[in-house]
Amino acid sequence: MEVCYQLPVLPLDRPVPQHVLSRRGAISFSSSSALFGCPNPRQLSPRRGAISYDSSDQTALYIRMLANSEIEVSVSARNVRRLLSFQRYLRSSRFFRGITVPNSSNILDDDYNGQAKCMLEKVGNWNFDIFLFDRLTNGNSLVSLTFHLFNLHGLIEHFQLDTMKLRRFLVMVQEDYHSQNPYHNAVHAADVTQAMHCYLKEPKLSESLTPWDVLLSLIAAATHDLDHPGVNQPFLIKTNHYLATLYKNTSVLENHHWRSAVGLLRESGLFAHMSLENRQLMESQIGDLILATDISQQNEYLSMFRSHLDRGDLCLENANHRHFILQMALKCADICNPCRTWELSKQWSEKVTEEFFHQGDIEKKYHLGVSPLCDRQTETIANIQIGFMTYLVEPLFGEWARFSNTRLSQTMLGHLGLNKASWKGVQREQSGSADDVDPTFEEMDSDILPQEPRLS
């Protein structure tokens, strides 16, 4: 049985109820679904117009997009917000049709646009400053960067993509990230997409990957944290959130990111000209890539990667092997912050810790028991980062360097070592000891302790 929820039509001259006004809302523990600003446990945030949910299938939550041909669209707060968010999209569409757009106070001046274009010329550099690029594009880093990469890799021409549909898809993706999240927002998605581009350029990959592989990689990178609520999976499980029930407490967020991405792909009609078989294959393989970013599955993927490297049996002419390498590449891109320059890495460290602590504050307020790494009274950024680097980042990037022993790999390991030393210096200043590594990461899985990098 399919149950559909139609969003309310709200007069624009009246105050909007809080649970509707906020896409995410404050948490009310009468239902943990209020995390998304939704009083109904089966309804997601008011994002598309309707939610379809078949309770007989745990993977059957999907967003059914309502086209204008299907319903009469009434004026609502959501519609107005969507129209306003498309001001830049409309300007871009006119640009691609060669129509001159009059100056507007809502449009960035030529100096900013020119600087953003200059930065895109160096989008393959590992020291690319995504924070600066986001400012230069007026908060549109994900749209601008991903569209540029689609063009740079020749995907628009190869797959005969409609540029207006592509831009509309990217605008919707960017809009469905939560800008109020300190870390899991569209800027993080843009950063991961830029890192993924750097990995796609590595000799072993660039010589072997097909346009299809590159297409999947960029879409998965851009959408890998889509509609992230700013709290982790254990929080959703212990508050009995309906998503945790739907996905049986397994890769809850990653499954949601994937299904949300599929919904936007279908709504945009970006690949409507492809066969149904190819579209279904694309959706499935994008899901495989996004699901690989579940950090709780780190040991499984790392063990497989290490075994392949020990046996030397990776063959990138094999589509399955290429897909596995793309999974590992996306995993690296997702947690590559400690491998950036100190100036960039430090900013990311502060942002992710702020998000952890915000969750901890909520857990304290509602007496839920504070999750590991989320207590601002007992944790520090330095301790969290040293543990993260030691137990998760070093093992993964050590094996990646075995697979692709390039200048980029050595640069990333070099930054990782320097950043870890910097945080240890901060730790010494705070506690007078350099040995206080947060044990939380070690408890996650003893098999992902750091290994000595074995470079081929």
Rg (the chain; Cα; Å): 22
User: Is 410 labelled as part of a ligand binding site?
Assistant: no
- Specify whether 181 is located in the same domain as 316: yes
* pLDDT at residue 439, as a whole number: 59
| 79 is a domain residue | yes
Give the confidence band of 112 by pLDDT, cuts at 50, 70, 90: confident
* pLDDT at residue 168, as a whole number: 97
CATH number, domain at 241?
Answer: 1.10.1300.10
Task: Report CA-CA distances (Å) from 220 to 211, 284, 293, 373.
Answer: 14, 11, 10, 27
- Specify whether 112 is located in the same domain as 173: yes
Give the confidence band of 113 by pLDDT, cuts at 50, 70, 90: confident
| 421 is a domain residue | yes
Helix H or strand E encompassing 63: strand 62-63
Rounded Cα distance between 304 and 247, Å, is 24
Active site residue 184: yes
Residue 32 confidence (pLDDT) above 70: no
* pLDDT at residue 343, as a whole number: 98
Q: Which of 266-275, 376-385, 431-440 has the lowest mean pLDDT?
A: 431-440
Give the confidence band of 110 by pLDDT, cuts at 50, 70, 90: confident
Over residues 214-269, the pLDDT tens digits come to 999 999 999 999 999 999 999 999 999 999 999 999 999 999 999 999 999 999 99
Over residues 50-98, the pLDDT tens digits come to 333 344 443 333 333 333 333 333 334 444 344 333 334 444 444 444 4
| Domain edge (last residue) among 307, 334, 361 | 334
Sign of dihedral through CA atoms 406, 408, 413, 417?
positive
- Specify whether 17 is located in the same domain as 166: no
- Specify whether 185 is located in the same domain as 251: yes
- Counting the structural domains of the chain, the total is 3
User: Is 110 labelled as part of a ligand binding site?
Assistant: no
- Specify whether 115 is located in the same domain as 36: no
- Specify whether 297 is located in the same domain as 397: no
* pLDDT at residue 307, as a whole number: 98
* pLDDT at residue 381, as a whole number: 98
Task: Report CA-CA distances (Å) from 98 to 93, 95, 107.
Answer: 9, 5, 17
* pLDDT at residue 440, as a whole number: 59
* pLDDT at residue 327, as a whole number: 98
| 361 is a domain residue | yes
* pLDDT at residue 438, as a whole number: 59
- Specify whether 293 is located in the same domain as 427: no
- Specify whether 272 is located in the same domain as 397: no
| 427 is a domain residue | yes
Percent of the chain with pLDDT over 90: 69
Give the confidence band of 370 by pLDDT, cuts at 50, 70, 90: very high
| Domain edge (last residue) among 305, 334, 363 | 334
Residue 38 confidence (pLDDT) above 60: no
The three-class DSSP label of residue 51 is strand
- Specify whether 262 is located in the same domain as 295: yes
Give the confidence band of 46 by pLDDT, cuts at 50, 70, 90: very low
Secondary structure of 332-370 in the HEC alphabet?
HHHCCHHHCCHHHHHHHHHHHHHHHHHHHHHHHHCCCCC
- Specify whether 92 is located in the same domain as 76: no
Average pLDDT over residues 131-142: 97
| Domain edge (last residue) among 292, 316, 334 | 334
Which residue range(s) make up the domain with 1?
A: 1-85
* pLDDT at residue 109, as a whole number: 66
User: Is 292 labelled as part of a ligand binding site?
Assistant: no
- Phi-psi bin for 181: left (phi > 0), alpha (psi -120 to 50), beta? beta
Nearest CA among 192, 188, 193, 222 for reference residue 352: 188
User: Is 224 labelled as part of a ligand binding site?
Assistant: yes
Over residues 313-335, the pLDDT tens digits come to 999 999 999 999 999 999 999 99
Distance of CA 456 to the CA centre of its chain: 31
Q: Which of 101-110, 113-122, 165-174 has the lowest mean pLDDT?
A: 101-110
| 456 is a domain residue | no
User: Is 192 labelled as part of a ligand binding site?
Assistant: no
| 38 is a domain residue | yes
* pLDDT at residue 111, as a whole number: 81
- Specify whether 165 is located in the same domain as 74: no
- Specify whether 350 is located in the same domain as 330: no
User: Is 241 labelled as part of a ligand binding site?
Assistant: no
User: Is 187 labelled as part of a ligand binding site?
Assistant: yes
Q: What is the mean pLDDT of the chain?
A: 81
Determine which one of 153, 178, 184, 228 is catalytic: 184
Rounded Cα distance between 373 and 393, Å, is 17
Average pLDDT over residues 138-159: 98
| 453 is a domain residue | no
